[in-house]
A and B are shown apart, each in its own frame.
Chain A
């Protein structure tokens, strides 16, 4: 027989005037290879059909199911219950707007982040359908892919001291995104333009260096390395500006 698991789950439905923020307890017997996806689905279908949470691919790829699991942001679908104690506390991600229970609105936040950092290839040329593709070194392609693996789950934002205090801080995810485009020769933005986006306290200089972002990233992206690289570049850029002003 498996362990008896006890779940403390944050509950609140902002659309329901009778709902008050609270925690509800649920019990389940653990089964082999049980993940939080399996557990939460069972709780909803067998015990409380009103329970709100988000899963989509349930394979650690889409980033839908980030939540705070025993105090730590992570993807619920790839969390095996056997790696947790028998008492499991689940809370919604902070920073993002609550939709209900464990479900938060990451869509609005990330769309706005993508707009802010200009998350696309900036290039005025037109696509020539008859031309061969521009060549690229495979090693560079792989380096870009490495940073493009971010799934916008929001864990790094939720774990970030600065993001929890200031709403305008763009977060590690945005800095990583900028680093991705800076690597890409197809993006024609220069240092100055990148600087305008993130060379401020809302950007690279807002980070307090607590390292939580990299710690919790389910894709294990080298977020702190990127930050260091950006800071050096931006610092340099800032200096150059100062001299120009003089």
Chain B
């Protein structure tokens, strides 16, 4: 088998993977990135809204600092985050934004003088300070006390990814695109690379590396309705779970975004609401102020999504052939604003819905959006369980998001964690030597080859990979979604286990020669189901409500019993994951309290019940 050597192998060439590779390459190490798609097509490119850093340059951001950013992040996480990591993150974010500016991002800048802005549909005026002319400006995003989200029009993720990949090209870092990691090479203690499958030819290839990084992004596509890209199906999570020793942190922490368009689930940015867009119901009445008088449409995502579903359940949704939805109204922002600041939104409405948001309402409803959970790492990005394995970006559980990530904090995480973890990996590589064992490589390669042949020959059965995947997606959407309860979750685990059995009997209907999209899915469908079961089972066991995890049968946040993080591992041959728990945060700089929005019933660490 074709084999390649590197100091660092990054599985993933999105913002996180490339940022780590850049750091290692700058220190003189040989880094290789793998990616399913050409790097600039990674899903980071789809982020429209922006990236948080407390620069405090714009009028509405005046007085902002790292402490306020820290508070917002911890509150946003519903105290589920690791506060030491959150601290590290807010400290580094301003430098990371400036570094990206230095590398070429055309950040929008402060324009001195008066300008109008909208909040909750009303027009206000602000005056930008003269002395800050030309510094990086920011916009408003949900769940933040200050305007802190740096942006380039409606294409922040796009410009970040292009600039990052420019740097990769400049440094000559190799990116092997259309190369999908299928299995980690490890001996139970040390990770030494992967076996990957080429999506141009179908051939297998081994990559041997002293350090391996999982930066494969989110895994939204285990859900039917998701804003994620087609390729976000959990490849990185799957190969980590497959080891049986690397724990997966907080699989149940899944964020829904309030505004996916109906029917395609393409996201329209939070910037719409940040800039003053409102949510309307079937009577074209604004309803968020009734539920959240202070923050209204700008309360955090989990809160807005929940009230939207609640409002639909109250019978106030708009009927459509694709199910009930609500309206997003940005008409009052005006043609000029929409055509410049929200241009991608306008394009999405025109191209995918055939409507004009300047004069018409946009049909929206919540869709799966972000995976807070991921490969559990320490604050240096080193994965638990295997030496030489690291993780960063959305694929990881570093864990600065806890049970709810703030908009703008994940683009920031990719570049901040990328920088920090990259530095730590460079340090690690300096004093580290490892023996590549031919036997382990051969063992992994043989296993992958056998799996592949069984799928192609149909030896195990003739289940369709597509049908099995659809059944899984429907099940999660139906019972492991925004509102959760014990009865449904139990049913979900049971049903998913049935679908898991079916996944073992998948056989191809095509010949599987070449790139074969059917074979690619068939090879990971079992892993996808294990991941889905982790999500459902961890959600069932967490008998409290925290951030995005809303249990109808356990409405209070329970800091006495659940101020912790789920760690799921999957032992070979088992049909359920093993769940362990660790404290959410070693340091509690801000002790658990009221978020100031959302439902505030809390069982305190002393066991008292407070709030509604």
Contacts and interface: CB of A to CB of B under 8 A. Distances in A.
11 contacts: A13-B513, A49-B464, A49-B510, A52-B515, A54-B37, A58-B230, A62-B41, A114-B165, A138-B134, A142-B153, A184-B106
Contacts of A57: 41, 43, 45-46, 229-230
A107 B177 contact: yes
B510 A50 contact: yes
Interface string A148-171: 110110000000000000000000
A121 B103 contact: yes
B352 A78 contact: yes
Contacts of B558: none
Interface residues of B, number: 74
A138 B137 contact: yes
Nearest to B37: A56
A33 B352 contact: yes
B104 A184 contact: yes
A140 B111 CA distance: 12
A13 to B, nearest CB: 5
Nearest to A44: B517
B223 to A, nearest CB: 15
A144 interface: yes
A61 interface: yes
Contacts of A29: none
Contacts of A141: 106-109, 152
A78 B351 contact: yes
B102 A186 contact: yes
B474 to A, nearest CB: 14
B40 A127 contact: no
Contacts of A78: 351-352
B166 A120 contact: yes
A32 B321 contact: yes
Main secondary structure of the interface of A (DSSP, over half): loop
B109 A136 contact: yes
B159 A56 contact: no
Interface stretch (B141-149, B167-175, B368-376, B584-592): B167-175
A198 B46 CA distance: 31
A55 B230 contact: yes
Contact of A138 (B108, B170, B229): B108
B134 A136 contact: yes
Given A54-B37, A57-B45, 13 more contacts: A50-B510, A56-B230, A59-B352, A78-B351, A114-B165, A115-B169, A121-B104, A138-B111, A140-B106, A142-B153, A142-B340, A144-B106, A148-B106
Contacts of A203: none
Interface residues of A, number: 65
Interface in A117-149: 118-121, 123, 127, 129, 131-138, 140-142, 144-145, 148-149
B162 interface: yes
Contacts of A136: 106-107, 109, 134
B356 interface: no
A171 to B, nearest CB: 16
Interface in B332-372: 340, 344, 347-348, 351-354
A88 interface: no
Interface of A: 13-16, 32-33, 35, 44-45, 48-52, 54-64, 78, 80, 82, 99-100, 103, 105-107, 110-111, 114-115, 118-121, 123, 127, 129, 131-138, 140-142, 144-145, 148-149, 151-152, 184, 186-187
Interface in B202-234: 202, 229-231
A158 B19 CA distance: 31
B555 interface: no
Contacts of B137: 138
Contacts of A54: 37
A64 B41 contact: yes
Contacts of B514: 13-16, 52, 99-100
Nearest to A59: B266
A137 B134 CA distance: 5
B580 to A, nearest CB: 35
A118 B513 CA distance: 37
A103 B136 CA distance: 40
B306 interface: no
Nearest to A79: B351
Contacts of B41: 56-57, 62-64
B283 interface: no
A64 B250 CA distance: 32
B201 interface: yes
B169 A120 contact: yes
A82 B152 CA distance: 33
Contact of B166 (A58, A119, A123, A145): A119
B246 to A, nearest CB: 27
Nearest to B203: A15
Contacts of A16: 511, 513-514
B38 interface: yes
Nearest to B321: A32
Residue from A56, A61, A129 with most neighbouring chain B CB atoms (10 Å): A61
A14 B124 CA distance: 61
Given A13-B514, A120-B166, A120-B167, A138 B101 contact: no
B99 A62 contact: no
Nearest to A143: B106
A149 B155 contact: yes
A33 B363 CA distance: 13
A231 to B, nearest CB: 24
A114 B169 contact: yes
Given A33-B353, A58-B264, A120-B170, A52 B200 contact: no
B158 interface: yes
A78 B354 CA distance: 11
Interface in B92-112: 95, 97-99, 101-104, 106-111
Nearest to B136: A133
Given A62-B41, A121-B104, A99 B508 contact: no
B462 interface: no
Nearest to A109: B38
A99 B200 contact: yes
A14 B321 CA distance: 42
Contacts of B266: 58-59
Given A61-B46, A62-B45, A186 B104 contact: yes
